[in-house]
Amino acid sequence: MSKPHVMLLTPLPPAVLRTFEGQVEVLRGDEAADRTAFLQEKGHKCRAVILKGHDDFGQAELQLLPNLEIVACSSAGVEAIDHDALHRAGIPLTNASLALKDEVADTALMLILATRKTLLPCDAYVRSGEWGKTGPYPLLSTLKGKRAGLLGFGAIGQEIAARLTAMKLEIGYCTRRQRDVAFPYFANAAALAQWCDILVVIVPGGQDTNAMVDHDVLTKLGPDGTLINIARGSVVDETALLDLLENGKLASAGLDVFQNEPHPNPALTVFSNVVLYPHHASGTVETRNAMAQLAVDNVIAHFQNAPLISPVDRPFHSLGVPK
């Protein structure tokens, strides 16, 4: 029996790629100078595709891949992939959330601590010699007992909840479907923001969550509130965020993602109460390798008629998302 053909549209680490040895034939679309031409030439052979979630993939690509059976994404985000087109074709989609949940949760915790403990101003206070001139730094407010609202409660959100619970914060959440957990559930982002001190954004990107965290939501978070965004820059209305920061109506923000990457709005850089991180929440060698491996493992599971490890639900607009 001939081996199934798997097309790579993103490179994989050599050690991960070796997992396929003896099981599949690999088509290196990631090395092609012209992706469309490569799909036109090789697409009819392909039964699986591995890509990243920011790679555009939809009906046009499906027409060139008549025998496609599965799309495996080596990132958590899948916003550039046309979910509905895949659904109509009966093609499952997987992502890498399970492989990066711990790393991203750690980054969220870092941003929470850096903002609420005013890391940047404290660092400047010491480096500038102000400590010796002025004396002790002003007292802060404890994290213990504060309310953290998780906008999104998938694998990453649950890991964040575990960490913050250990730190004795209260947890609330908002997601598409209420979960069987002890934490209070909120029907929309505005209600969650009204309740919490720290709003952690971890929903997928895409048109259905565009500007979900808008001026109203940020206003409800209040002048003592903190915004943490480790989702996608598109989820937060940056114009509204800047307005509230400039007018002292939001205490702080920790941002791993931005509307314009890798050139975020320079206005964000002037605030000492805003911690900026270069979309690097999963950025360790170990985690990136694990993400690639999970994509490969999903493809292998498919060809072995085993359950997929990390299938992706249909997009928000198909299910109804709280806004």
Active site members: 232, 261, 279
Rounded to whole angstroms, the Cα distance separating 132 from 140 reads 19
Q: What is the DSSP string of 50-111?
A: EE-TTS-BSHHHHHT-TT--EEEESSS--TTB-HHHHHHHT--EE-SHHHHHHHHHHHHHHH
Strand partners, 229: 201, 255
Residues 6+ apart with CB under 8 A from 24: 3, 4, 5, 6, 48, 299, 303
Site of tokens 């504060």? 146
Q: Is residue 161 a contact partner of residue 150, using CB atoms and an 8 Å limit?
A: yes
Q: 21: buried, middle or exposed (CB in 10 Å: 19+, 13-18, 0-12)?
A: exposed
Rounded to whole angstroms, the Cα distance separating 248 from 143 reads 21
> Rg of the chain over CA atoms, in angstroms?
22
User: Which two structure tokens, joined as six digits, stand for 270?
Assistant: 């002037």
The count of C-alpha atoms lying within 13 angstroms of the C-alpha of 73, restricted to the half-sphere facing its C-beta, is 27
Q: Is residue 229 a contact partner of residue 256, using CB atoms and an 8 Å limit?
A: yes
